[in-house]
Each structure stands twice: as structure tokens, then as C-alpha cells.
Amino acid sequence: MTSDRNERHKQAMQRRKALVDEKVSQANDERGILIVLTGNGKGKSSSGFGSIVRCLGHGYKAGIVQFIKGTWDCGERNFIEQRCPEAPYHVMGSGFTWETQDRERDIAAAEQAWQQAEILLKDKSLHLVLLDELTYVLKYGWIDQQRIFDAIQNRPSEMSVIVTGRAASKALREIADTVTEMTDEKHAFRAGVKARKGVDW
């Protein structure tokens, strides 16, 4: 019986391999892509930073602009600034909009951060650029959408870009190559667990 089962498994895996090989052979385009990580579930920024580590691990250069987070302490920034000083890392100068409660200040801070992003998006030496929490800049209309889309779409062809943040617009999803919607099925915070240092930030 075990040998029957093993034989069926082998045949199923051979069929699977043929399908996978066929799909792999059809994916021949070599170009950078735009990835949008959105939705209410946890994992958007951590996935973005995971890709940054992946990129740096291959010896490529990567750049990061963190919108919204302000001076918030966060492990990923500490690590990259200390251990990967060659990776350009910019942080928007003001924090969460519900904390600043000052639209003019938010717009000025977003403008400064976006100018840094525009510089990174022209830099041919970068393999990957992470625009963490950029969706809020679009949602609040702090920077003109067309200006943002132009910079992203006119980037060097080998560069990939990751945009994270909740509530990505339909327009942003349309210009993306890969869109992942993180679903909030369950979150420890709602059961009263405080955000964990080294896990949530």
C-alpha cells in the first residue's frame, strides 16, 4: 500500500513539475516591477523590509523612504542605518497625521520626503526602492498623484519599487505589476496585546 501511495505521489509531482516548468519557461521578461502591498492585515512593511534584506544580500543597492513614521523608533531603521550605511534611508520628518493634526506641516514634510524619493527613483545604481506607507501621501492628497506616478513609471527599467500602506487606490493598483492585499483575519492588538518591540516595530 505504501508503495502504491509513493508511486501516486511521484506521478502527481511529475505532473506538477511539468506545469511549473512550462510556466517558468513562459516568464521571460527581464525588468524591474512595481509591487503594492496593501490591506488592513499585518505584514506590509515587514515584507517590504524583508525584500530590502533580500536585495542587499545579493550585493545589490537598495534605497528606502519611510513616509508617516516620523521619529518613531523602529528596528528596521536602526539596523539598516547602523549596518548598511550604503543604503540611502530617508524618513518623513513628521509622524502620524492624527498626532501632528497640522495639515500644512504634514504637506511640507511629505514634500521633503517625496523629493528624496524622486532622487532615489532616478538612481540607476539602485535595484530596489521601498516607499513605505506611501499610500497615505496619496490618500491625503499631500503630493499630486500624477507627479508620484510619473516618477515611479519613469524609473530605470531594472529598478523595482515596493509601495506599502493601507487603502491603495484603484489607480495605484492599476499601474502595479504585483498587488498583494493583506487580510486582517485576526490581530493580537484587539485581544489587548501591546505592540511588541522587535516584532511589530
What is the closest distance, in whole angstroms, from the C-beta atom of residue 167 to Mg ion in the complex? 12
Which residue number, 149 or 201, has a Cβ lying nearer to ligand ATP?
Answer: 201
Quote the CA–CA distance of 160 and 156 in Å, as a whole number. 9
| Residue 195, contacted partner among ligand ATP, Mg ion, none, CB below 5-8 A by kind | ligand ATP
Q: C-alpha angle 26/32/38, rounded to 5°?
A: 100
Q: Which of 43, 181, 187, 79 is nearest to 195 (CA)?
A: 187
Task: Tell the smallest beta-carbon distance from residue 164 to Mg ion (Å).
Answer: 5
* Smallest separation (angstroms) from Mg ion to the CB of 124: 28
Helix axes 145-153, 103-120, angle to 10 degrees: 10
At closest approach, how far in Å is the CB of 3 from ligand ATP? 46
Query: From CA 10, how far away is CA 1, in angstroms rounded?
Result: 14
Query: Which of 150/184 has CB closer to ligand ATP?
Result: 184
Residue with grid cell 511521484, as numbered in its chain: 10
Of the pair 83, 190, the CB lying nearest ligand ATP is at: 190
Q: Which does 166 bind (CB under 5 to 8 A by kind): ligand ATP, Mg ion, none?
A: ligand ATP
127 binds Mg ion, rule: CB under 5 A: no
Determine if 44 is a binding residue for Mg ion (CB under 5 A). Answer: yes
Q: Does residue 45 bind Mg ion (CB under 5 A)?
A: yes
- The C-alpha atoms of residue 131 and residue 164 are separated, in whole angstroms, by 7
From the CB of 118, what's the least distance to ligand ATP, in Å? 23
Cα–Cα distance measured from residue 142 to residue 74, given in angstroms and rounded to the nearest whole number: 24
Residues contributing to the site for ligand ATP (CB under 6 A): 40-46, 164, 166, 182, 184, 187, 189, 195, 200-201
> Which segments of 89-142 does DSSP mark as H helices, in order?
97-100, 103-120, 134-139
200 binds, among ligand ATP, Mg ion, none (CB under 5 to 8 A by kind): ligand ATP
Q: How far apart are CA 32 and CA 101, in angstroms?
A: 37
Q: Contact residues for Mg ion (CB under 5 A)?
A: 44-45
